Structure 1
Amino acid sequence: MEKTLLEEIIDLLEKEVLTTKEICYKLGLEPEREKDIYSILDRIAKIVRRKGKRLMMIPPRCKNCGFEFSKPKATRCPKCKSERVEPARFTIR
């Protein structure tokens, strides 16, 4: 029986730390689906919590000044206005 997309993402994140772009690449999804991954991650957080685990986010960070964002989707640094932002990374522990 084939695994659902949700189950495949859970398996990936239990093994390694990945960005949403890397998740899409590893699963062979189009880059446009990257925004869908964020809503799937919300569901995954609830599912793994019931299993006694947690979806962890390493927050996005400005490559210019080091500012750390609190939300996973960051495009521009409020401190230095740089668009050189390291994306959020996710894992399950």
Structure 2
Amino acid sequence: MPNTTVTSPLKSLFSYSNFDDVVPASNVAQRTAEGKRTAVIETFEGFIYTLQISPTKPATPPPGPVSPDTPPPAIDNYLVSVAVTAELPKERKKEKRRKV
């Protein structure tokens, strides 16, 4: 039996995530640098999440913060794409019930 204690925090990882397309597909090749990584997460329910994480090419550095209280501007160091597939059974298996 698998140790679910280790994977339990990952259970809600994608439940609350929100992804927006911010780079058009036609510009991805121009923006990515070498060093692409792929992560595959497979759940017990048959879902397979394939994440492709690519570092971006260095751009002009953003201007520094105006004052120490001002947070630095957001920068995009990585491009992430997610593909989800599922291998779901066509029919649900009926469990045999034990008679007591």
TM above 0.5, yes or no, is no
Specify which structure has the higher proportion of helix.
1
Specify which structure has the higher proportion of strand.
2
Q: Which is greater in Rg?
A: 2
